[in-house]
Structure 1
Amino acid sequence: MPTQTPNPAHVAEGAIQVHHLITTDHEYDAFRAASLEYSEDWQCFTGFPVISNWSLEEDAAPLFEEGLRALSLKAAVHALTGDDQAAEISIAVPVDEMTHAMLAQAQLLRRIAERHGIQIIHQTDQEHTDYVGTGYTADCYRAAWGQPPARYWLDHTEVLRRREHLAGLYTSIGMGRSGREHSIKFEELASA
């Protein structure tokens, strides 16, 4: 039987606490710096690029905050339910992409979480990126921090529309399947 979703006000209260514990931890600055340094590897073609006028330099820091809020919401749901699947609430695609950069700092995040008894939840095959601004996640977010920034918290249907546009652009330069394959022969470029 699926776990009932907790009241958004209770999730918000827990998420605010989780967020505070993480941001006041003595290793937070190192965790944040390491997550943002991960930028050299941020080469996803369908996550961050769905943001209009995406700029790594301008968007990384605010998107890090949104990723931290998303992880805090998920941790709060888990604390209230004890259910990993219930904690995999819907997250907007760009925000989810940032959480991957954060989760890549495994040892720092694990130590911070363990010190404060926080369970960080993320499993790719269980994640939900079908976020909508009128859904449960948005209700929890609003109860904690106000309106989610529309620049990053894009509705899933809009993400799909933007991905379709990006796919057409990628195809026009020889990138197939939205960057999952290409027809570029680097050997021919070297000899030219």
Structure 2
Amino acid sequence: MTATELPTAELVGRRAAEILAAIEADSEFPAFEAATLEYSSDWQCFTGFPTIERWNLDTDKGPLLREGLRAIALKASVFELTGDERAAEVALPVPVDEMTHAMIAQPQLLARIAERVGVSVIHQTDQEHTDYTSGGYTHAAYLAAWGAEPPTRYWLDKKEVDRRLAILAKKYDSIGMGRSGREHSISFAAA
């Protein structure tokens, strides 16, 4: 992942828990949460959230927001402890990473909260790692931070995500949505 030596998962987890508590205690957190969840009408990715079995925006968005916040806190912790943006791009599962995109789409609120908390929010698409595997570094840091297993509904291993994406791609292709929604052959005039 990087040449930087990563801090222990315990150290990252302890700091991530503090970061998340500070974010949630911020006076603008309720506005940030509401804005992030309102963004749901634009959540049209075909390869992120749909990898969640029986995905339902109404029932999944709240729990998934929690997991996205935990991911942001883990990444902020690694960055704070290493100063290395690449190292901070720890492995995340696709659905959780997708939720971080919804949070980052609230740049003013998130920037003000991060500034008051004293952390940097790290996310750069060309450096992100959506190759999360249970038992790996991110998993260990999550356990250290919150003392519980990440919910497997959202924290899907890369191998399982790939399997589900293959299933989705076939279904999308069957209705004319090529390359998992990156193109289509639908003629709106004919419809």
SS in 2 for 1:115: helix
Which of 171, 176, 180 is matched with 2:182 structurally? 180
Cα deviation per residue 1:60-95 (whole Å; 9 max; x = unaligned)?
Answer: 000000000000000000010000000000000000
Cα deviation per residue 1:44-75 (whole Å; 9 max; x = unaligned)?
Answer: 00100000010000000000000000000000
Counterpart-to-counterpart distance in 2, 1:147 and 1:134: 10
Residue in 2 that maps onto 1:149: 151
Letter in structure 1 aligned against 2:24: T
Letter in structure 2 aligned against 1:127: E
Q: Alignment identity in percent?
A: 60
List alignment gaps of at least 5 residues for structure 2.
Answer: none
Residue in 2 that maps onto 1:53: 54
Residue in 2 that maps onto 1:68: 69
SS in 2 for 1:187: coil
Counterpart-to-counterpart distance in 1, 2:79 and 2:159: 27
Letter in structure 2 aligned against 1:172: S
Residue in 1 that maps onto 2:7: 6
**Residue 109 in structure 1 maps to residue 110 in structure 2:** yes
Cα deviation per residue 1:25-48 (whole Å; 9 max; x = unaligned)?
Answer: 000000000000000100000100
Letter in structure 2 aligned against 1:40: S
Deviation (angstroms), 1:102: 0.4
Give structure 1 regions of 4+ aligned residues with deviation exceeding 2 angstroms.
none
Which of 166, 169, 174 is matched with 1:167 structurally? 169
Letter in structure 1 aligned against 2:99: M
SS in 1 for 2:4: coil
SS in 1 for 2:20: helix
Counterpart-to-counterpart distance in 2, 1:187 and 1:111: 46
Counterpart-to-counterpart distance in 2, 1:113 and 1:175: 39
Counterpart-to-counterpart distance in 2, 1:8 and 1:162: 29
Deviation (angstroms), 1:115: 1.1
Counterpart-to-counterpart distance in 1, 2:154 and 2:111: 26
Deviation (angstroms), 1:188: 1.7
Counterpart-to-counterpart distance in 1, 2:135 and 2:13: 16
Deviation (angstroms), 1:128: 0.1
Deviation (angstroms), 1:134: 1.2
SS in 1 for 2:70: helix
Residue in 1 that maps onto 2:42: 41
List alignment gaps of at least 5 residues for structure 1.
Answer: none
Counterpart-to-counterpart distance in 2, 1:153 and 1:27: 27
- TM-score calculated relative to the size of structure 2: 0.98
Cα deviation per residue 1:116-149 (whole Å; 9 max; x = unaligned)?
Answer: 2111100000000000001000000011111000
